[in-house]
Chain A
Amino acid sequence: MQTSDTIETDLKTLIVDALALEDIEPSDIETDAPLFVEGLGLDSIDALELAVVLEENYGVKIDDDPERNQVIFASVRNLAEFVRQNRAK
């Protein structure tokens, strides 16, 4: 069985690979740090791409709900929580 820690680790790898982030290792991403703008510096196009890979990898659907998405994408921890609750694969 997959522990919650490995989902966090997997998500970090997924983010780095899917977004082709340069000069960033998965381990550089802090679990609780903001992903967008002031933290990792991701933007709206990245959010689109992340939504695609999350669906591919975990079968989770990101709806077009800005307020909810802001919470989901706030950090790796929130993202992992969302995946745990909604995953289909």
Chain B
Amino acid sequence: MRQAPVTLAGLLRETRPPGQIVALTAAGSHTWGAFTGHVAALAGRLRAAGRQRWLIFFDDSYDFAVALFAVAHSGGVAILPPNGQFGTIARLRDAADGFLLGDASLVADAAGEVIADPLALLAPGARGVELGDLDAEAPFVELFTSGSSGAGKRVAKRLRHLDEEVQTLERTFGGGLAGASFFANVTHQHIYGALFRLLWPLASGRPFAARTYLHGGEVVGRMAAQPSVLVSSPVQLRAMAESNALRGLSPRAIFSSGAPLDDATAAAVASATGVAVTEIFGSTETGGVAWRQRPQGGDVAWRAFPDVELATADDGRLAVCSRLVSDGDDAGGGRHRFVMGDRVDVGLDGTFRLRGRADRIVKIGAKRLSLPEMEAELARHPAVAEAALVPIRRGLESRVAAAVVPSEHGRARLDDVGRAELGRDLTAALAPYFDRVTLPRVWRFVDALPRNAQGKLPEESVAALFAGDGGDGPPLDPVVEEETAAGNVLRRRCVVPRDLAYFAGHFEFRPIVPGVAHLRWAVDAGETLLGEPLRIAAVEALKFKVPLEPGAAFELEVEADADRRRLRFRLWRDEGEISTGRIVLAREIDD
């Protein structure tokens, strides 16, 4: 059998049988012959348009693949928005001068070329460009990480980053997948989906399904008919495991990434399919870092991909150095070193265990608490399938609130003894390990955690589960996600709570944060910076430039002048400043 050459740079120059299937569609399939024709025709059109930066969003993975390679072969760069929401496209459109979009109405009034049907250009006799080798060092794509707040961070990758990634996947997982077709319930607009469901099968000559199966069960019928691989996520696998959709299916491999896979789902999928889920750990910045399989669940260590070097940074976070890393410090030889937000224990054999996100340390009554640690402890309880914790303001202090997805056993307990009793059970189970004041004070038992489309769990969505009940009423302050202080400057990364107390009385029709709240937040940050209560003499040069809405992420900075008489403050976000001003402090006169 032919050893499949695995290359993206030389992909379109390969001589494959024209009838070889590239993509499976509802109606049938697209062949290698069609694919090369489509790419050549579209690349010709793009080159004629003379544009360089093409924003690409398609639901259909084949259309996306054609667009992606046509952009590269026309000498351009592909910009991949993380989703097709109007707001996302609107935020990114100025970064592009051309648009390849399944839904042209998203950029109806945009300046620039818009192409909605990338396959329509393949008319008989149409002349496309000649498809040679691509320059592996050329900028290829710009991706966006879906962080927990705001617009996300742009990460640029050269073609070779993805090319080497695909070669790594083939080397690590390719054996045993000959002739398998790839199906997915994650989007190709993100790095994980782009690599696993599209670029890897495409480069290795395996068919991929053009459709994304967002309701997991549907994909099973298609997969059962042929040797197959499923590219999935914890959310999707959990849903499929719970509805027994996977029973009797025996794929060659199942991949999961994007969030931690809980023990119960890992075990349920393995028992239903006979295949241990291969979990992938990585990020947009680092590319693939490590993988693991754990058919019985449990805290199995992660194994690094070949040629990925791991170390622990000072604060216990994972530092990744490899040729796949495209962000961070240049480490020579095409390598970069990037410090991730995940804390780890690295073993002597180079494997590692995740120890939670470094940035989810909170203080409750001056006691430090790692939310991931407590979440992990909760997840060990037989009544708990999954848990998410969030600090909420209650009276004088923040308290921990717990959202719990009960296991089957937990649901039975809930029916038997009720919420209060189950909450007390769980509190008692945590009590031996955590400081008393850090124990959760509010419990919510929910069917699912409020994950977004990428499977991530934004803190504000969890907090929203507890919004508006009990306590001393709705919050007056923003959720502070991160705080850094250096010298006479203090900076906070914040999110406006959706139930902010100020929204009740102000601007009923379109809630925005009133000016008095901007000031209050600046004063609060100033008190933290100076370590004492502020006595305010005056506020100068106050400017409110754009409104701040519920749920919005923003940054707050206060800077004290040398003699601590004045505090300059500034609220802003990526798009620009929100408000600025100067607080003049009263001089002490009592001595």
Contacts and interface: CB of A to CB of B under 8 A. Distances in A.
Contact of B397 (A23, A24, A45): A45
Contact of A22 (B364, B365, B423, B437): B423
Interface string A9-22: 00000000011101
B396 to A, nearest CB: 5
Contacts of A49: 395-396
Contacts of A67: none
A1 interface: no
B436 interface: yes
Interface residues of A, number: 14
Contacts of A45: 364-365, 396-397, 399, 437
B470 interface: yes
Nearest to B473: A20
A43 B420 contact: no
B419 interface: yes
A43 B435 CA distance: 10
Contact of A23 (B395, B419, B439, B471): B419
Interface in A17-57: 18-20, 22-24, 37, 41, 43-45, 48-49, 52
Contacts of B364: 45
20 contacts: A20-B394, A20-B395, A20-B441, A20-B470, A20-B471, A22-B420, A22-B441, A22-B442, A22-B443, A23-B423, A37-B436, A41-B424, A43-B436, A43-B437, A44-B365, A44-B436, A45-B365, A45-B396, A45-B437, A52-B396
Contacts of B395: 18-20, 49
Contacts of A23: 418-420, 423
B427 interface: yes
Interface residues of B, number: 22
A77 B394 CA distance: 26
A44 B437 contact: yes
Given A41-B427, A49-B395, A49-B396, A22 B436 contact: no
Interface string B423-443: 110010000000011010111
Contacts of B420: 22-24
A33 to B, nearest CB: 14
A24 B397 CA distance: 20
A73 B215 CA distance: 55
Nearest to A17: B470
Nearest to B439: A43
Given A22-B442, A23-B423, 19 more contacts: A20-B395, A20-B441, A20-B470, A20-B472, A22-B420, A22-B423, A22-B443, A23-B419, A41-B427, A43-B436, A43-B439, A44-B365, A44-B436, A44-B437, A45-B397, A45-B437, A49-B395, A49-B396, A52-B396
